Amino acid sequence: MRVITGKARGMKLTTLEGEDVRPTTDMVKEAIFSIIQFDVPGSQVLDLFAGSGQLGIEALSREAAFCTFVDKSKDSIETVKSNLSHCKLTDYSRIENIDSLNFLKLTSQHFDIVFLDPPYRQGLIEKAMPLLERNLNEGAVVVCEHERELLLPNEFSSLKLRKHYRYGKIMLSVYDKQDQLSED
């Protein structure tokens, strides 16, 4: 696993081991950043269910202003810390060792880009999306990585589906926060 481009280009990232771990493949990561490339510079990013932190680190490498990494696993948090330090991106980040849904209930931060790549088949995207809305800036983008079989709705309140993308067994569902005034 490596950083694809930007100021940390080519840096190798550590990942966790185990059957519950599914690091985002380089192909899917390249697709994600192709989709949101113009949204990244200067953005406030949330890497929820961060795992190794590779999506948030890729965003920071591509000039995102700041990234908050959230994961309830202590091992994941240690991996994120190590990867940020290795890539010299620690100063542009915050790390929270807390359940992701609880983080969304408690935080007052606002974000422009959110990466949701939770464990599969636990209904976590469906639980997180309604909680996210109050913490998103207008025009925010939410990228959900999930199993192909999961059919997400076309909207979660003001979050409207931009498009579904399929990469083998992986689906990306990309949502945009719509300006409330434009819906009238």
Task: Confirm whether 4 is domain-assigned.
Answer: no
Evaluate whether residue 115 is within a structural domain.
Answer: yes
- Residue 13, in any domain of the structure: no
> How is residue 10 written in tokens?
């080519």
Cβ-contact 35, 27 below 8 angstroms:
no
Domains in the chain, number:
1
CB 35 within 8 A of CB 171: no
Condensed to tens digits (0 to 9), the pLDDT of residues 67-119 reads: 999 999 999 999 999 999 999 999 999 999 999 999 999 999 999 999 999 99
The CA distances from residue 76 to 64, 79, 83, 96, 106, in Å, are 21, 5, 10, 11, 21
**CATH no. for residue 72?**
3.40.50.150
Q: Does residue 69 contact residue 53 with C-beta atoms inside 8 Å?
A: yes
Interatomic CA distance for residues 147 and 179, integer angstroms: 29
Task: Kindly indicate the confidence band of residue 183, based on its pLDDT and cuts at 50, 70 and 90.
Answer: very low
Q: Using one digit for the tens of pLDDT, what is the confidence trace for 159-169? A: 999 999 998 88
Domain span including residue 61? 26-183
The per-residue pLDDT for range 56-78, each reduced to its tens digit, is 999 999 999 999 999 999 999 99
